[in-house]
Amino acid sequence: MQSPWKILTVAPLFLLLSLQSSASPAYDDSSRPRDSNGHTCVGCVLVVSVIEQLAQVHNSTVQASMERLCSYLPEKLLLKTTCYLVIDKFGSDIIKLLSADMNADVVCHTLEFCKQNTGQPLCHLYPLPKETWKFTLEKARQIVQKSPILKYSRSGSDICSLPVLAKICQKIKLAIEQSVPFKDVDSDKYSVFPTLRGYHWRGRDCNDSNESVYPGRRPDNWDVHQDSNCNGIWGIDPKDGIPYEKKFCEGSQPRGIILLGDSPGAHFHISPEWITASQMSLNSFINLPTALTDELDWPQLSGVTGFLDSTVGIKEKSIYLRLWKRNHCNHRDYQNISRNGASSRNLKKFIESLSRNKMLDYPAIVIYAMIGNDVCNGKSDPVPAMTTPEKLYSNVMQTLKHLNSHLPDGSHVILYGLPDGTFLWDNLHNRYHPLGQLNKDVTYEHLYSFLNCLQVSPCHGWMSSNKTLRTLTSERAEQLSNTLKKIATSEKFTNFDLFYMDFAFHEIIQEWQKRGGQSWQLIEPVDGFHPNERKSVFLRGMLMTSQTLDNQEWTQLTSWIKGNLTCNSRTREWLCCCLRIVSGRRCSSSGPKSWERRIHSTPRLNRCLETKAGTEPLRSMHPWGAQGGRGLGKLMPQTLWGLLRHRPKGVSFSSIFAKCLSLNEERIWMTVQLCLLLGSVTLPLFLK
């Protein structure tokens, strides 16, 4: 997954930035192709295609279509001004070539933004001209033989050297190179600014002049005088003199969510409206400045740390929002430490941007999701550049040791496996790309071939017509997933427990299809590679899948709870009661109100299980209270009463009790945690 955004940053900026200077990721692997001509070529073809199609859609001249394109751009970052500057400098040659019926490939090769080196194949997106390529190219060069643009191109000058563009380039460079927020006065790694690695990526700072105030820390003196952890809870209740932080958060076990990921984790997204002429309007590029300063990522919408509403009308919430809904003391405690192009090889270069103090901060749930770049690269022969299982083991162990030295005790780390990316070719290769929908001339197969030829493909191994290569890539991905699984089962750490989760992509597809969707809709339409926002919904749910249980125990457990398919308060109570029976734990009650609160309050249930741990004496055997029970009620343990009361319809108490005794305590507890963590997610997603 070679930072594909750097290929397309050129397009929205309309050839403003040569990609090798303005958008090179700070942490590129040494194995990645450094051919800047490839990125520049893709940007040129993309922009010229949009200009040509705008003229076709609106039945206008090329000059008018370029001016229309600039009029759509916002003023922020000087985008509109710079667009008109580019038209003034390069527009006349583009007009001449397009007016002579030259396609975007010919235009960009003529202007030398695309180059065919000696001994290298000809890289093109569109079908070749009817006349020979050599003849067509020579004809085009005659049209612009005295053009100043050729002089500029041959000089090798960097577009960012132009004074008017220097500031724009610098802002984008800083956004890529800095792992911590660009605007951070107190240097605590949290910011009051949204983009440039600000609070779109990690919780918003509530005091940027005090480095001891930041999201996720334990409260300072119960936040009597200030909100030291930025969760919005501080001060003293005048009615009883108890600090609000102590009253609402003590014992609720707040914890943050941290993602160590690559571009899917950062929620990479390029709007199809940016390159689809028939959909362009004044509203198409409103979010472009924000996207550029967030590296064309949308972490504020990601499936793990997102905090804003979905842009496609999906009601599912991120894992962070689920944690927040469960416990408002978790407010703002999220960090998205993801990067385009990240892998196990280069994570060590930016993991220092993670903010967690094991003495001062709350525990955290850390998700390690490097799901592609250890097998994905753009080389002509991608297999030798893939990470080996031995190297992955070394890289991940180095990461886990770093986490162990920074995470507070009681944290959790989840290692996420790699997907089987053969889905991409199988479902997309014969479909039309947005650039080819108008004239039915560009499919994803053409796009993949073009990117592979230029050696700038996000993943040559899977985005290839070579079935053998696709199979080899999937086999290596499976080997790396098995390595992660081995680490999770064999390694132990003092400050966190370790889990492994498969990337259950095929299950996600099946669930999507059951809801009436088409499988290809789960992939970003512009790059034909990344998961889109629809798929993020299912990624959230699949973080805790049936893979956490062995097949036999999972079959037992699913058959037991098959009668009720919603992980609601009732289901949580059965599971909690089952756990108490197996482990011998008891959660006492002082009366009917207390019992009802424990049933319907997830934090209270969790607190009962984790903090009391069965140490509290059995005072009440019946939910009516110590003095309220009668007859057999006084002889019935509270946990069994809860299990009986909240069992599924048609399921006998004796069968539930017997099933509880047959199941492993640790496995039940993992399922209880699933319900507590994900709240109202329906269980079929995990059971099938």
Q: Where are the domains of the chain?
A: 13-25+33-157, 255-556
Biggest alpha carbon distance in the chain?
103
- pLDDT at position 434, please? 97
Residue owning tokens 């599924």: 648
255-556 to CATH, choices 3.40.50.720, 3.30.565.10, 3.40.50.1110, 3.50.30.30: 3.40.50.1110
CA distance linking residue 462 with residue 470, whole number of Å? 5
- Beta-carbon neighbour count of residue 140 at 10 Å? 21
* Confidence at residue 575, expressed as pLDDT on a 0 to 100 scale: 56
The more confident residue out of 176 and 639 is 176
**What does the CA dihedral 498, 499, 505, 510 come to, rounded to 10 degrees?**
-150
Determine contact, residues 581/661, Cβ cutoff 8 Å: yes
Helix (H/G/I), strand (E/B), else coil: 670:
helix
| Helix intervals (H) in 183-257 | 244-249
Considering the entire predicted model, what is its pTM? 0.77
CA atoms 621, 626, 630, 631: torsion sign: positive
Looking at 32-36, 145-149, 226-230, 612-616, which range is the least confident one? 612-616
Above 80 in pLDDT, residue 237?
yes
Over range 669-675, report the average pLDDT. 49
Check if the beta carbon of residue 431 is closer than 8 Å to that of residue 423. no
pLDDT of residue 534: 54
pLDDT band of residue 28 (cuts 50, 70, 90) is very low
Average pLDDT over residues 300-307: 93
Asked if the model's pLDDT at residue 4 lies above 60, the reply is no
Report, as an integer, the average pLDDT of 393-417. 97
| Pairing of β 411-416 and β 256-261 | unpaired
* Structure tokens that stand for 363 in this block: 């525990």
Tell me the three state secondary structure of residue 109. helix
Helices of type H across 584-688: 592-600, 602-607, 638-645, 653-662, 665-678, 684-687
Lowest mean pLDDT among 96-100, 419-423, 436-440, 656-660: 656-660
**In the numeric block, which tokens belong to residue 14?**
């309309």
Contact 294, 258 (CB under 8 A): no
Q: pLDDT tens across 446-480, in order? A: 999 999 999 999 999 999 999 999 999 999 999 99
Tell which residue, 396, 319, 405, has the closest CA to residue 365. 319
Question: What pLDDT, on the 0 to 100 scale, is given for residue 170?
Answer: 72
Cα–Cα dist 309/195, whole Å: 17
| Model confidence at 339: pLDDT above 80 | yes
Are 217 and 245 a contacting pair, CB within 8 Å?
no
Q: Which of 33-47, 79-93, 471-485 has the highest mean pLDDT?
A: 471-485
Does the pLDDT of residue 73 top 60, yes or no?
Answer: yes
Residue 260 pairs in a beta bridge with 337, 368
Which residues face 257 on adjacent strands?
334, 365
Residue 624 scores a pLDDT above 60:
no
Measured CA distances, 294 to 126, 263, 268, 335, 528 (Å): 31, 12, 9, 14, 20
Phi-psi region of 502 (alpha: psi -120 to 50; beta: other; left: phi over 0): beta
The dihedral sign for the CA sequence 25, 29, 30, 34: negative
Residue 463: predicted pLDDT: 97
Q: Is 378 exposed, middle or buried (0-12, 13-18, 19+ CB in 10 A)?
A: buried
Residue 166 structure tokens: 């220097």
| pLDDT recorded at residue 117 | 86
Average pLDDT of 544-570? 43
Comparing 294 with 30, which gets the higher pLDDT?
A: 294
State yes or no: pLDDT of 564 exceeds 60: no
What is the rounded CA–CA span in Å between residue 397 and residue 344? 10
Query: Which stretches of 267-306 are DSSP H helices?
Result: 288-293
Place of tokens 């008109």: 84
What angle is formed at CA 556 by the lines to CA 555 and CA 561, rounded to 5 degrees? 95
The conformational region for residue 223 under phi > 0 = left, psi -120 to 50 = alpha, else beta, is left
- Percentages helix, strand, coil for the chain (3-state, rounded to 5) are 50, 5, 45
> What is the reported pLDDT for 310?
66
Q: What is the pLDDT of residue 78?
A: 85
pLDDT at 504: 75
Alpha helices in 491-615 (DSSP H): 505-514, 533-542, 551-561, 569-583, 592-600, 602-607
pLDDT at 145: 82
Burial class (CB in 10 A: 0-12, 13-18, 19+), 353: middle
The residues annotated with a catalytic role in the active site are 263
Q: What confidence tier does 396 reach under pLDDT thresholds 50, 70, 90?
A: very high
Winning range, highest mean pLDDT, from 1-5, 168-172, 339-343, 572-576: 339-343
Average per-residue pLDDT in the chain? Answer: 78
Average pLDDT over residues 422-430: 95
Report whether pLDDT(637) > 80: no
Confidence of residue 208 (pLDDT cuts 50, 70, 90): very high
- Tokens in use for 337? 């430490």
At 117-169, the pLDDT tens digits run 888 999 999 999 999 999 999 999 999 986 666 655 545 555 566 676 677 67
The mean pLDDT of 327-333, rounded to a whole number, is 95
In this structure, how many other beta carbons lie within 10 angstroms of the beta carbon of residue 680? 12
Give 594's DSSP letter. H
User: What's the confidence (pLDDT) of residue 123?
Assistant: 97
Which of 174-183, 222-231, 264-273 has the lowest average pLDDT? 174-183
pLDDT, tens digit, for every residue of 88-111?
888 999 999 999 999 999 999 999
**pLDDT above 90 for 667:** no
In this model, does residue 232 exceed pLDDT 90? Answer: yes
